[in-house]
Structure 1
Amino acid sequence: MSPNYIIRPVLMGLSLCFGLAGAATAAPCGNTADGFSGWKAAFAKEAAREGVGQRGLAALADARYASRTIAADRNQKSFRYSLDKFMKVRGADTIVAQGRKRKARNAAFYAALEKRFGVQAGVLIAIHGMETGFGGFMGDSEVVSAIVTLTYDCRRSDFFRPHALGALKLVDRGAITAQTKGARHGELGHTQFLPGNALTYGVDANGDGRIDFYDLADAMASTANFLRQKGWQPGQGYREGQPNFAVIQQWNAASVYQKAIAIMAARIDGG
């Protein structure tokens, strides 16, 4: 599952498009693997201008065209399901049942997160369960290759460009490597952060001096920080129509996903 965005089809009359507006020297995109190597060389110049260092640039050079990522990007059907079907397909009852146990077993941990960020445990646990089955499967695609491929692909180049730069900067910082595995769209860790968001909202919760999205404490604190920074109001509700539902909408733009998270979270929290 890919947080923070939903597919919006874009009609394109040209086979090539360009990056962010104003970037006159932006690397041209492409719709097949042909030209990927040349694009990477051009994008490396952009990345260097944006502050990516040698380790990040080396990871970019080693990135491979991710055919499975492109296939997945063209085939996200679940967001078009009804709410009932979506929740059944995604195992909502299981997430709630396991989520209640996790909250009870780690009550002090979730209470500390709520005290620090104001985000209720049920929301964090519901996201964790929805995204990776509580860390059971965090992806089998190389994050850098996936996100770089999506930036090269013409369909949503502008959306993924900051996340590609974010991934390369995370490599520079030692938070990930070129081999780090994540979801098909380059999301990483327990709650599937897109790299640009990981770079911006990451929190070192366990105090080991690095932000590791494959560490539960760091991942959950980072998720809570994302929500708080997006406007989460401590003590306010998060069901549809309540103040914090608008913040859940910023985690993932698919309405069926938003509603499912709010419903599961309320059940986990006992509401």
Structure 2
Amino acid sequence: MTSKFSLALLLAGLAATPAMAQAPACGGNFAQFLEGVKAEAMARGVSGEIATRALRNASIDKKVLSRDRAQGVFRQTFLQFSKRSVSSNRMQVGAKKIKQYANTFARAEAEYGVPAAVITAFWGLETDFGAVQGDFNTMNALATLAHDCRRPELFRPQLLAAVEMVGHGDLDPAGTTGAWAGEIGQVQMLPRDIIEYGVDGDGDGHVNLKKSSEDAIMTAAKFIKALGWRAGEPWLAEVSVPSGNFPYEKSGLDSGMTLGDWTALGVGFRNGQPTSQNLPADLLFPQGRNGPAFLAFPNFSIYLEWNQSFIYTTSAAYFATRLAGAKPYDAGNPGDGLDDGAMKQLQQKLAARGHDVGKIDGILGGGTRAAVRAEQMRLGLPADGWPDQALLGRL
């Protein structure tokens, strides 16, 4: 998986330099572009020898451009994606990894407050515990995306960070490979984040997220803590909701509700209840009120920082609860929802009513879910944020 880091982190430190003023920030002659990057790297303290070695053989990778322009959209439902991603094999391998690296995980939790299950779930979903890390040359990928003028503000800082990593001995310009968008290693991190949050977990003097599981575990823990992880608190818990006249309109993110509020409404827990009744909690129905139901706590926001897809983040958080000992969710009997054409038709109708659903793309994102909930409330339907043919027909 890619694109998991917040724009705030990616865009930090983009102040213009004289080097950027002398050469185009993107586009144009590629050799001239690289000279500009080299000059900027040197202005930031990288030696000329290192900058030259890092960029000497960089080239445009047309496969990277093809991947960038053909990014697929996330159309799977929660049940489809979670059943595939939280497989029995991943559960077994994850449990073995937690046992194998027990000392490292214990150190990670002691220093950063992040449990083994949380780190392991990301590790498994990102690269199958290091087995699938990507085969794109990292320097070429970042140079290609920085030179391309679609998003240079995102990728030029990453290219400069990669040059810096060459000087640290943590990136080989010719041999380091990773994802097409420049993420490296077992937990798929971008160069700037590796520099800022990288931890030498195995004590060899380097941060090698490709080969060292100890480095990957400790670095992921430090990064997750930096995103705001609250030690000792839950992140997601499966719940049951009473039948009858339940206030579904209170569900969704940023509800302003607490654990105590939900228990007072009859919400029950399938795997043990957290103790703090004042803990903020949001009720989530990733596939409607007839499917699985979860309470999400403040730590769930960290998942949304890692990856902005609601289905991916909920699946990752659920995977972590399973590794921590929770039972498989009760799938219930939800409908499949709307197909692509019907979802676009729904978004058009919602937009026509003044709702901000973003791009008409057939994707049930946060804006569309909020709009669906608002219309369900207006029409007197259970406001669980899950669109179906009945809602489309009423609109």
Band the TM-score falls in, shorter-chain normalisation:
0.7 to 0.9
Correspondence list, 1:141-180, <5 A: 141-179=136-174, 180=176
Correspondence list, 1:241-252, <5 A: 241-252=296-307
CA apart distance, 1:97: 3.2
Give the Cα separation in 1 of the matches to 2:74 and 2:152.
Answer: 21
User: Which structure has more RCO (C-alpha within 8 Å, separation ≥ 6)?
Assistant: 1
CA apart distance, 1:29: 1.9
Q: Which amino acid aligns with 2:29?
A: G
Distance 1:185 1:130, change over 3 A: same
Correspondent of 1:36 among 12, 23, 30: 30
TM-score, with structure 2 as normaliser? 0.60
Give the Cα separation in 1 of the matches to 2:88 and 2:3.
Answer: 21
Give the Cα separation in 1 of the matches to 2:87 and 2:68.
Answer: 24
CA apart distance, 1:20: 4.7
CA deviations 1:140-175 (Å, max 9, x no partner) are 111111112111111111011221111110001101
Q: Which amino acid aligns with 2:42?
A: A
Give the Cα separation in 2 of the matches to 1:129 and 1:260.
Answer: 12
Q: Which amino acid aligns with 2:163?
A: L
Correspondent of 1:138 among 133, 140, 163: 133
Match of 1:14 in 2: none
Percentage identity across paired residues of the two chains: 33
The answer as to 2:221 corresponding to 1:221 is no
State how many pairs are aligned: 257
The answer as to 2:79 corresponding to 1:84 is yes
- SS for the counterpart of 1:154 is coil
Q: Is the 8 A contact 2:24 2:36 kept in 1?
A: yes
Which segments of 5 or more consecutive residues in structure 1 lack a partner in the other structure?
Answer: 8-18
CA apart distance, 1:81: 3.0
Q: Which amino acid aligns with 2:298?
A: P
Give the Cα separation in 2 of the matches to 1:130 and 1:57.
Answer: 36
Correspondent of 1:264 among 319, 334, 347: 319
CA apart distance, 1:264: 0.6
CA apart distance, 1:258: 1.5
Distance 1:270 1:99, change over 3 A: same
Q: Which has the higher helix share?
A: 1
Correspondence list, 1:17-166, <5 A: 20=14, 22=16, 25=21, 27-30=24-27, 35-53=29-47, 54-77=49-72, 79-88=74-83, 90=85, 92-166=87-161
Distance 1:62 1:262, change over 3 A: same
Which segments of 5 or more consecutive residues in structure 2 lack a partner in the other structure?
Answer: 8-12, 237-294, 327-395
CA apart distance, 1:102: 2.3
CA apart distance, 1:89: 5.0
Q: Is the 8 A contact 1:140 1:182 kept in 2?
A: yes
Q: Which amino acid aligns with 1:255?
A: F
Give the Cα separation in 2 of the matches to 1:163 and 1:219.
Answer: 19
CA apart distance, 1:196: 0.7
Moved more, 124-133 or 43-52: 43-52
CA apart distance, 1:75: 2.5
Distance 1:187 1:95, change over 3 A: same
TM-score, with structure 1 as normaliser? 0.86
Q: Is the 8 A contact 2:6 2:305 kept in 1?
A: no
- SS for the counterpart of 1:155 is coil
Two-structure CA RMSD over aligned residues (Å): 2.4
Q: Which amino acid aligns with 1:212?
A: N
CA apart distance, 1:6: 8.4
- SS for the counterpart of 1:62 is coil
Q: Which amino acid aligns with 1:4?
A: K
Distance 1:93 1:29, change over 3 A: farther
Give the Cα separation in 1 of the matches to 2:304 and 2:61.
Answer: 28
